[in-house]
Amino acid sequence: MIVRSKAPLRIGLAGGGTDVAPYSDIYGGAILNATISMFAHATIVPRDDHKIVLYSIDNNERYEYDSMEQLPFNGDLNLLKGIYNRVVSDYTGEPLSFELSTFVDAPPGSGLGSSSTLAVTVLGAFAEWLNLPLGEYDLARVAYEVERIDLKMAGGKQDQYAATFGGVNFMEFFNENKVIVNPLRIRPQYLNELAHNLILFNTRTSRLSSQIIERQSQNVINQHEITIEATHKLKKQAVMMKEALLKGKLDQIGEILDFGWRNKKLMAAGISNSVIDKIYQTAMDNGALGGKISGAGGGGFMIFYCPNNGRYKVVNALKKFGGIAHRYEFTRNGLTTWSI
């Protein structure tokens, strides 16, 4: 028996950062994101030798353990261990024996939600194997709890839900970790045009998002007026983006992205830097109407909205920075699991 799963990475189009506590707990958050044709993959092969093998193919890390109820957190593939530990403690009550291998199409620190998507993918594989009673909201919530509570990894709430549900979603975040996912029925021609016009640019740099997120959260705790006001505007941006996509007002998207980027940079130190600023300005000087960093900031992927066939001039201008523009499509489906 072989169990497999995959879940899509996402582009955050608007509202990024409003899903991070304590802002979302105090004021409520709103985000608009869309999943793309880049994935996290997981495979589980059951064993009968009382061994557990964890293998991250993309990172070339492989560890073998005796089967036990709780694997130790020591920095070696802690995310995979965290999911396994939660499955045993909450569902099976006894240790399992298996080999788990994973691969992610984007590296950690990319800003595409790769870590959270991997958590969802691994949990989905266990749910498929063990027939666990997890609906979409349940699965996203458990993946979130493993990352944010069990492993104490700083971050927001959107990525786990985007990976689980898939598609274009307007997400609302409330106190007590309440999340509502509103799928948007975007006309295919609007979504195809958005994919054509929206460049996904890999800066080939990474960042430790937790440090930026911790600074952002601390600014809210300290009632930093500039941070809070900027985050309010990002929540407004999510509503603006939703209306533009639903009504097909694609000519407004560049301006909406630029509005969000100018405010996002005010949320915390480290979201932008001199290199990111140069990349952004170069894109704008060559025809982009707006853009943003994907994820918490500091590096990883950026997106730029370029109408008509303007993408080609912008991509050519960005070559001097050593990055690469990725082709992609928007996806409708979220987590998918199967057994053979």
- Looking at residue 231, which CATH number applies to its domain? 3.30.70.890
Q: Is the pLDDT of residue 272 over 90?
A: no
Number of domains in the chain: 2
Annotated active-site residue in 19, 150, 159, 258: 159
Give the CA dihedral 60, 90, 125, 141, nearest 10 degrees. Answer: -90
Residue 156: which of 33, 327, 282 has the closest Cα? Answer: 33
Residue 35: which of 5, 7, 6 has the closest Cα? Answer: 7
Tell me the sheet residues that pair with 45: 99
Say if residue 146 is exposed, middle or buried (CB neighbours under 10 Å; 0-12, 13-18, 19+).
Answer: buried
Is residue 251 located within the same domain as residue 121? Answer: no
- State pTM to two decimals: 0.95
Rounded percentage of the chain residues whose pLDDT exceeds 70: 99
Calculate the alpha carbon distances from 135 to 122, 124, 140 in Å: 15, 10, 9
Q: Is the pLDDT of residue 196 over 70?
A: yes
Q: Is the pLDDT of residue 143 over 80?
A: yes
Expressed as residue numbers, the domain containing 144 is: 3-185
159 counts as catalytic = yes
Is residue 126 located within the same domain as residue 145? Answer: yes
Instruction: Measure the CA–CA gap between 294 and 219, rounded to whole angstroms.
Output: 21
Is residue 257 located within the same domain as residue 152? Answer: no
Is residue 42 located within the same domain as residue 176? Answer: yes
Residue 20: which of 206, 169, 212, 198 has the closest Cα? Answer: 212
Is residue 202 located within the same domain as residue 320? Answer: yes
| 306-333 mean pLDDT | 96
What pLDDT is stored for residue 297 in this prediction?
74
331 belongs to a structural domain: no
Instruction: Measure the CA–CA gap between 282 and 314, rounded to whole angstroms.
Output: 8
Query: CA quadruple 189, 191, 195, 198: dihedral positive or negative?
Result: positive
Instruction: Measure the CA–CA gap between 64 and 77, rounded to whole angstroms.
Output: 11
End-to-end CA distance of the chain: 6
Q: What is the length of the chain?
A: 340
Of 165, 185, 205, the position where a domain reaches its end is 185
For position 58, which CATH number holds?
3.30.230.10
Q: Is the pLDDT of residue 119 over 70?
A: yes
| 271-287 mean pLDDT | 94
Mapped to the 3 state alphabet, what secondary structure does the chain carry? Answer: CCEEEEEEEEEEEECCCCCCCCHHHHCCEEEEEEEEEEEEEEEEEECCCCEEEEEECCCCEEEEEECCCCCCCCCCCHHHHHHHHHHHHHHHCCCCCEEEEEEECCCCCCCCCHHHHHHHHHHHHHHHHHCCCCCHHHHHHHHHHHHHHHCCCCCCCHHHHHHHHCCEEEEEECHHHCEEEEECCCCHHHHHHHHHHEEEEECCCCCCHHHHHHHHHHHHHCCCHHHHHHHHHHHHHHHHHHHHHHHCCHHHHHHHHHHHHHHHCCCCCCCCCHHHHHHHHHHHHCCCCEEEECCCCCCCEEEEECCCCCHHHHHHHHHHHCCEEECCCECCCCCEEEEC
Q: Is the pLDDT of residue 176 over 80?
A: no
206 belongs to a structural domain: yes
Is residue 267 within 8 Å of 231, Cβ to Cβ? Answer: yes
Of 148, 170, 185, the position where a domain reaches its end is 185
| 27-50 mean pLDDT | 97
What pLDDT is stored for residue 201 in this prediction?
96
Residue 253: which of 168, 159, 321 has the closest Cα? Answer: 168
Is residue 224 located within the same domain as residue 77? Answer: no
167 belongs to a structural domain: yes
Rounded percentage of the chain residues whose pLDDT exceeds 90: 86
Is residue 174 located within the same domain as residue 96? Answer: yes
User: Per-residue pLDDT tens for 244-254?
Assistant: 999 999 999 99
What pLDDT is stored for residue 207 in this prediction?
61
